[in-house]
Structures are given as structure tokens and as C-alpha cells.
Amino acid sequence: MSSPSQTGPKPRIAIVGYGSQGRAHALNLRDSGFDVTIGLRPGGPTEIKARADGFTVRTPAEAVKGAELVAVLTPDMVQAQLYGEVIEPNIAPGACLLFAHGFNVHYQQINPREDLDVVLVAPKGPGALVRREYEIGRGVPSVYAVHQDRSGKAEALALAYCAGIGGARQNAIKTTFKEETETDLFGEQAVLCGGATKLVQAGWETLVEAGYQPEVAYYECLHELKLIVDLFYEGGVTRMHEFISETAQYGALTRGPYVVDENTKAQMKKVLQEIQDGTFARQWIAEYAAGNTQYKALKQADLDHPIEAVGRKLRANMKWLSTAPQARPADAADAAEAAQPEEAAA
């Protein structure tokens, strides 16, 4: 681990994209003393937001031309076209190209120009949290990596950027584009998003099919999950055991392996293998290029699951939810930004 601090001249930065992560990075960097310009397609809602935040906004091509460091913070699936059409023709020789996720470089959708430094800085939290933690003097833990070091200063640039967004306050962990990409995708698919969603839905279905009330099943299989996740977040499995009953502990220890067994782990290994050998990337790239028909159908099936209707009804009476901060999931910054295609091109 490293505990970097920013010293020496600060590079002029162009942030291309102003979604969840883009806005947080830009605001934090400016507050850290960096000269930040935002690159956006003219006329979109994010241009209005960036100007309201006091930034100079230019087209992506214009923003890139004047930058010593270009941070690409648009959705994964538009980055290859953006790089080929806008960034590569305009980025200065010897500049630094920065990503917050290694997908396109690792899977060779982007092959950066040989003269560029190419680095990665990835906060382990959603943009809203990255900003909030910076403002109160803390920071969200981050990982960083170097793919190309043409200047001999690429790592120092990555660490300076990491310090600028507050990530260095929690110690930055050095990784590689390969490790960041593959572990990030695996976590989303097998545990955080895919695995958790299917576990909740299957648990709810099991109780409802056995004759229990859907509302009671919702509380037991979805609503109370937050209580356990918060304990994990604060102190790992150890803290969970400190705060749940002995009955719950015994049930978890003896029945948990019924559900997550060696077959489950074998399926997780399959998920990882398809990430490592590029199968997932090829499928997702092809799906996006074909118009996202399957993706949209699968997502709609999730949204139409009966647990969602039950949840909406119950949450309508949870008045505290209307005043609680709404944080979006971390690699779900991509999902938020994907709804803003005006960021994708000049």
C-alpha cells in the first residue's frame, strides 16, 4: 500500500463525461487545486449541470487538446468509439490517459497510442460517496494501476490524481488493469449484483410458494438484508456474529452451506473463467452493438418480478426513505451514465 501526497506541478485535467463518477472527480480535483475542464457534447443536461457547478465546458475534442491528463469517465460501451474518433486525434503527445475501469484497455477495445502514459484510478464507491467523503475530510479507498509508462512519471500522475479525488487519504492499493477489471466484474456478477439479486428472489419465492405472506417474505429476504450488509461493511463477518442472536448464528453456520455449497463455488469459478477468457466481454460487446435486445428483456424481467410490487407497496409507508441519502451502487455509476449518451461524442 501507498500513502501518496501531491507535490510539484499539477497537470491540467480534462474530464470527459459528467455522470456519477465524473462529477465527483471533477469537484474533488478542483477543490484540490487542479485546473479542470469538462468535455461534453453541447446542449445536453450534463452540460447544464457542469456549467452550474462552475466548470469550463468544451466539446470533448477541445477539452482533450488542452489537457496534460485526460480522464475518460463515460460508460464502458462508448469509450472505444470516443477514443478512436475524439481522443486519439486530439490528445497531446506524451499526455496521460486515465480510466476509472480497465475494461476497454484490458479487453483491447482501446489500444492507446504508444506515446501516451496510460493509468487507472478506481474509487471503491459510487460518485456521491466519493464526493461526500472528500467534503468531510475523509476519502473512499481507491486502487490504481499503470498500463503504459512512457514518461517515467505515470505512477506519480496516477497517485496525484488519486490524492486529488481523496482516495489517497485511505491508502491507495496498487493493482493492474487485468486484476481491477476481472475482480470488479466478478464481484458484480457473482456476489454484489447478480448473486445477491438471485438469492433474494429465490428466498422470497420459496417462502411465498410455501404459503407465507409476500409482505412478511419481503421483510425477511430483502428488507433486513441491509442490516446484515451494514454489519459486514463496518466490521466484516466478525461484526455480524457480534450483533446477531445465537439462534441466527447457529442457523447461518449449519444451513448456509445448504445454499452456497461446492456447486455454487463451481459456478462462481465458471463466471470467473468467462471473465478471464474474454467470453463475457465478447458477449456484452456484441449485445450492445446489436441494440441490447436481450439485455433489455432480462432487465425488464427483474423489474417485473413480483417482489418489486410488494416492495413498492411496503416502502410507501417507510417515511424515512424519502429523506435518506440515495447512493447508487459503485460500478453502477456506469448504469447512471449510460442514460446520458450526450457524453459519448464530440
* Binding site residue list for substrate: 245
Return the beta strands (E) in the chain as ranges.
13-16, 36-39, 56-58, 69-72, 96-99, 117-123, 142-148, 173-174
CB 83 within 8 Å of CB 110: yes
- The CA–CA distances, whole Å, from 21 to 29, 75, 142, 329, 332 equal 12, 10, 13, 11, 10
Q: Which parts are annotated binding residues?
A: 18-21, 41, 46, 127, 184, 188, 220, 224, 245
Cβ contact 8:37 at 8 Å: no
Question: Side chain identity at 346, as an amino acid letter?
Answer: A
Is 106 known to be catalytic?
Answer: no
Binding residues for Mg(2+): 184, 188, 220, 224
Cell 456549467 locates to 51
Question: How many CB atoms within 10 Å of residue 77?
Answer: 19
CB 36, CB 44: distance < 8 Å:
no
Residues flagged as binding site for NADP(+)? 18-21, 41, 46, 127
**Alpha-carbon dihedral 337, 344, 97, 105, rounded to 10 degrees:** 80
Triad 43, 289, 47: Cα angle to 5°: 15
DSSP 341: G
Report the 10 Å Cβ neighbour count for 25: 31
What's the rounded Cα separation, in Å, for the pair 307 and 201? 7
With vertex at residue 328, the alpha carbon angle to CA 164 and CA 195, rounded to the nearest 5 degrees, is: 115
For the packed helices 279-289 and 293-303, what is the interaxial angle rounded to 10 degrees?
A: 100
Asked if residue 120 lies in contact with residue 145, where contact means CB atoms within 8 angstroms, the answer is yes
Q: Which of 25, 101, 106, 147 is catalytic?
A: 101
Q: How far apart are CA 38 and CA 57, in angstroms?
A: 5
Strand pairing report for 96-99 and 36-39: unpaired
Instruction: Point out the residues that are catalytic.
Output: 101
